[in-house]
Amino acid sequence: MNKESDMDWFTIQPNADGTHWKGKCWYVHELIKYEFDFQFDIPATYPDTAPEIEIPELDGKTAKMYRGGKICLTIHFKPLWSKNSPHFGVAHALCLGLAPWLAAEVPFMVESGVIKPKV
């Protein structure tokens, strides 16, 4: 549905036993599409704890990121996950965790010049 309206913003693939997921996500800012690879493991204490989504290529480019490219989910997502576990899942992590992060950070990073479009 999203794809038809060109509103889709990620592709994702799990490994054989569903413990490691990776894919691409993108965000359009000022008519330029910025695409990144992302990945995450399902933690051992899932569903009590949320997966930690990582964007390795952006590691170190913004303060809202922990070692290894783990995006900061503390404020906007983790409390939501705690309230709604166990029925939250990977889809929720992406839509409510990764998407807002991209929306907040990509414009900031572009504006401050740490990422540039590959023109």
Of the residues 72, 90, 106, 109, which is catalytic? 72
Q: Which is nearer to other proteins, 80 or 110 (CB)?
A: 80
Catalytic annotation present for 95: no
Q: Indicate which single residue of 86, 113, 118, 119 sits in contact with other proteins (rule: CB under 8 A).
A: 86
**Residues 97, 106: Cα–Cα separation, whole Å:** 14
Measured in whole angstroms, the distance separating CA 48 from the mean position of its chain's CA atoms is: 19
Write phi, then psi, for 3 (nearest 5 degrees). -65, -40
Q: Which stretch binds other proteins (CB under 8 A): 9-17, 30-38, 53-61, 105-113?
A: 9-17
Which residues, at least 6 apart from 100, have a Cβ–Cβ distance to it below 8 Å? 76, 77
Token pair for 16: 């054989």
Place of tokens 């992590």: 93
Task: Measure the CA dihedral 7/8/9/14, to 10°.
Answer: 170
The answer to whether residue 103 forms part of the interface with other proteins (CB under 8 A) is: no
The answer to whether residue 4 forms part of the interface with other proteins (CB under 8 A) is: yes
Q: Which is nearer to other proteins, 79 or 117 (CB)?
A: 79
Site residues (vs other proteins, CB under 8 A): 3-4, 6, 11-14, 18-19, 41-45, 48-50, 52, 63-64, 67, 75-76, 78-80, 82-87
Q: Just list the catalytic residues.
A: 72
